[in-house]
Amino acid sequence: MDETYSWWQAVARGKHYVEARRLEFIELNQMDRFVGDYEAKFLRLSRYVRRMVTTEQDKCVRFENGLRYELMMQVAPLQERVFKTLLEKTKIVEEVKRLECKSRDRARILAKRDVDPTV
């Protein structure tokens, strides 16, 4: 009886774990992660939801929908449906956005120096 009960508990725990990973995948968003980190978590969790991402297109659409808004707005119109290519393009957009912010910050600092030479 003890062996059967232990086995059943292990099975139940396994089911709860899988269900928790499925829910985590459904709610997954990039948030403050870099695209590469989001990709790693996306791929790790997608193993638990094979029926939700049965095609390359499903995988791409799911991935896009979880991206930060400013990245999704740049990537979604491309309608890329090959995951590897989508990922490469998303990383490029992320890098361009990062450089854009860096340039904007630098311009702000220079403008401040022009106005206030003590900075």
Residue 110: band (very low, low, confident or very high) from pLDDT cuts 50, 70, 90: confident
Domain of 105, in residue numbers = 2-115
The structure's pTM equals: 0.80
Counted domains in the chain: 1
So what's the pLDDT on residue 114? 72
Residue 8: band (very low, low, confident or very high) from pLDDT cuts 50, 70, 90: confident
Concatenated DSSP letters of 54-85: -SHHHHHHHHHHTS-HHHHHHHGGG---SHHH
